[in-house]
């Protein structure tokens, strides 16, 4: 097993002064004083956010893109680097950027109304802090349905002490696309006037159909449609690290590569005990890193098939000594698949004490009214028709140093990918050793199922806690975690 210290373990990671604790909005990070924004070439990355007409599936649609591409510019750092991104808003309305999965200062988290005011049209904002993690992450807008229009991109933090060797390090960023405006689709959902009845052989373990909200027009890998797949040539015999990132609005992808076994080495940026599989499922917003070897004279189609829809995205990985060959037939996904209940951390993740606070989180919804809730309340997003609560009334209160447990109970027939900002958590699996429970930042809660997670409250502030299905979030499926004294 790898000798790597978990971010869940040990002393509190953020030493804070009394004045900072009083506000619970830390102006310093890891004992450092706040830094002024660098200028000119000292800024590592700049993202210009702007609208662009785009037609990956033959119909013009308005995409919202970072530096003009879907996905946006790849951001790549190393652990310990100063993260620095200047965001320019050239859109017609406000926006923010959230750095998904990163443990970061609260005010850098990019959630409007919780950690920052939106970046207004024509304005810029600098995000900067020191990086403590390694692994595969991503960034995306956290305003309305802008994520569904392509405002997202990969974010990689390399490990100076990388335990694996490989010849290529490649991004596989998966997306889903709707041709109509997402706002118009949302209005149809609110009126219960959208048909998503399609044939799909991939069902839930209990035999029920995988329920979906939206009939997507198509799926992408690295911005490329199946008619023109993303293709990469590598030196014969290369060992390749593929960083699989589900950057979709709501799609679950089942991934397999023709003729190759996937050695899975991490989930959501955190290491796991390596496991070899023929296919795996990525919930919305989740990531897996896998290693594959590409023999001489070989071409391998990567399939990313949507659960609940009859569509797939395609890519091709091939040795440079042959011409690539595309297999556009949807596979049967035979052979062993990744069983998420069997994921194991290579280090101990158990806390030294029992949970200080335990909360039951009931996930519920009304499909006819398209109203989604957590513990009977809907976060006041733009499309929530039912009013009656304010943001301040929808937080779980914790204290610095608490071990916190959430027992998630899904009362709906749909799956929910739940994401907690500013923290990682351990996922407790029934029948598995809790001492080495895997660490994630996004957990999938199955229909009518239950999942428990635990995290250390070591990062003061107000943090968003929500379903990462953009349609469910826009209809209210969110709450927050708030540090109190």
Distance, in Å, from the CA atom of 250 to the CA atom of 467, rounded to the nearest integer, reads 10
Residue 463 pairs with which residues in a beta bridge?
481
Residue with tokens 């797939």: 312
Q: For residue 37, what is the DSSP state?
A: P
Distance, in Å, from the CA atom of 271 to the CA atom of 6, rounded to the nearest integer, reads 9
Report whether 217 contacts 179 (CB < 8 A). yes
Report whether 96 contacts 119 (CB < 8 A). yes
Q: For residue 434, what is the DSSP state?
A: G
3-state percent breakdown (helix, strand, coil) of the chain, nearest 5: 10, 40, 50
When computed from its CA atoms, the radius of gyration of the chain, rounded to whole angstroms, is 21
The H or E element that residue 306 is part of is: strand 299-306
The H or E element that residue 18 is part of is: helix 18-23
Q: For residue 330, what is the DSSP state?
A: P
Per-residue pLDDT of the chain (485 residues; tens, 9 = 90+): 333 334 454 333 332 222 222 333 333 344 444 456 666 668 899 999 999 999 999 999 999 999 999 999 999 999 999 999 999 999 999 999 999 999 999 999 999 999 999 999 999 999 999 999 999 999 999 999 999 999 999 999 999 999 999 999 999 999 999 999 999 999 999 988 887 765 565 555 556 678 899 999 999 999 999 999 999 999 999 999 999 999 999 999 999 999 999 999 999 999 999 999 999 999 999 999 999 999 999 999 999 999 999 999 999 999 999 999 999 999 989 889 999 888 999 999 999 999 999 999 999 988 788 989 999 889 988 888 766 566 677 899 999 999 999 999 999 999 999 999 999 999 998 778 899 999 999 999 999 999 999 999 999 999 999 999 999 999 999 999 999 98
Distance, in Å, from the CA atom of 84 to the CA atom of 67, rounded to the nearest integer, reads 16
Residue with tokens 């004294």: 485
Task: Give the angle 3-272-240 at the CA atoms, nearest 5°.
Answer: 100
Residue among 267, 225, 224 nearest 245 (CA): 267
Report whether 310 contacts 197 (CB < 8 A). no
Token pair of 122, please?
């024509």
Residue among 297, 245, 296 nearest 269 (CA): 245
pLDDT for the residue numbered 209:
78
Per-position DSSP letters for 51-116, written without gaps between them: EEEE-TTSS-EEEEEETTBSS-PPEEEETT-EEEEEEEE-SSS-B-EEEET----GGGS--BTTTB
Residue with tokens 């500013």: 422
pLDDT for the residue numbered 381:
86
Per-position DSSP letters for 364-430, written without gaps between them: EEETTTTEEEETTB----TT-------GGGSEEEE-TT-EEEEEEEE-SSS-EEEEETT--EEEE-T
Token pair of 52, please?
């662009």
Cα torsion angle, 304, 244, 464, 219, sign: negative
Distance, in Å, from the CA atom of 102 to the CA atom of 108, rounded to the nearest integer, reads 10
Local structure of 45: helix, strand or coil: strand
The H or E element that residue 20 is part of is: helix 18-23
Distance, in Å, from the CA atom of 379 to the CA atom of 372, rounded to the nearest integer, reads 9
CA atoms within 13 A on the CB side of 18: 0
Report whether 440 contacts 420 (CB < 8 A). no
How many Cβ atoms sit within 10 Å of the Cβ of residue 197?
A: 7
């Amino acid at each position: 097993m790898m000798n790597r210290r978990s971010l869940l373990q040990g002393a509190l990671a953020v030493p804070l002064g009394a004045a900072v604790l009083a506000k619970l909005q830390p102006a310093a990070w890891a004992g450092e004083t706040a830094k002024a924004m660098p200028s000119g070439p000292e800024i590592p990355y700049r993202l210009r956010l702007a609208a662009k007409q785009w037609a990956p599936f033959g119909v013009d649609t308005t995409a919202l893109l970072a530096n003009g591409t879907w996905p946006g510019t790849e951001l790549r750092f190393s652990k310990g680097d100063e993260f620095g991104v200047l965001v320019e808003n050239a859109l017609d309305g406000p926006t923010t950027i959230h750095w998904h999965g990163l443990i970061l200062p609260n005010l850098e988290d990019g959630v409007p109304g919780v950690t920052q005011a939106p970046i207004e049209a024509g304005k810029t904002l600098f995000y900067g802090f020191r990086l403590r993690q390694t692994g595969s992450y991503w960034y995306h807008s956290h305003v309305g349905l802008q994520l569904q229009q392509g405002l997202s991109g990969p974010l990689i933090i390399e490990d100076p002490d990388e335990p694996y060797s490989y010849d290529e390090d490649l991004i596989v960023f998966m997306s889903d696309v709707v041709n109509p405006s997402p706002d118009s689709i949302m209005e149809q959902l609110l009126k219960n006037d959208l048909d998503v009845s399609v044939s799909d052989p991939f069902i839930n373990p209990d035999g029920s159909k995988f329920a979906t909200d939206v009939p997507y027009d198509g799926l992408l890998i690295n911005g490329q449609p199946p008619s023109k797949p993303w293709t990469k040539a590598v030196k014969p015999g290369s060992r390749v690290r593929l960083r699989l990132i589900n950057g979709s609005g709501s799609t679950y992808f089942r991934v397999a590569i023709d003729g190759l076994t996937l050695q899975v080495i991490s989930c959501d940026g955190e290491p796991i005990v390596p496991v070899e599989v023929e296919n795996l499922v990525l919930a919305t917003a989740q990531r897996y890193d896998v290693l594959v070897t590409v023999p001489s004279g070989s071409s391998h189609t990567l399939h990313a098939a949507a659960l609940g829809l009859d569509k797939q995205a395609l890519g091709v990985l091939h040795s440079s000594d042959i011409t690539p060959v595309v297999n556009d037939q949807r596979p049967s996904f035979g052979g062993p698949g990744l069983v998420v209940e069997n994921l194991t951390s290579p280090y101990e993740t158990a806390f030294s004490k029992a949970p200080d606070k335990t909360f039951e989180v009931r996930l519920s919804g009304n499909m006819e009214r398209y109203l989604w809730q957590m513990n009977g309340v809907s976060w006041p997003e733009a499309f929530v028709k039912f009013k009656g609560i304010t943001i301040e009334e929808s937080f779980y209160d914790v204290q610095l140093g608490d071990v916190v447990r959430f027992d998630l109970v899904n009362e709906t027939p749909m799956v929910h990918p739940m994401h907690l900002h500013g923290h990682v958590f351990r996922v407790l699996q029934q029948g598995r050793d809790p001492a080495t429970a895997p660490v994630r930042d996004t957990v999938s809660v199955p229909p009518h199922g239950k999942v428990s997670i635990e995290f250390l409250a070591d990062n003061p502030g107000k943090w968003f806690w929500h379903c990462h299905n953009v349609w469910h979030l826009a209809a209210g499926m969110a709450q927050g975690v708030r540090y109190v004294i």
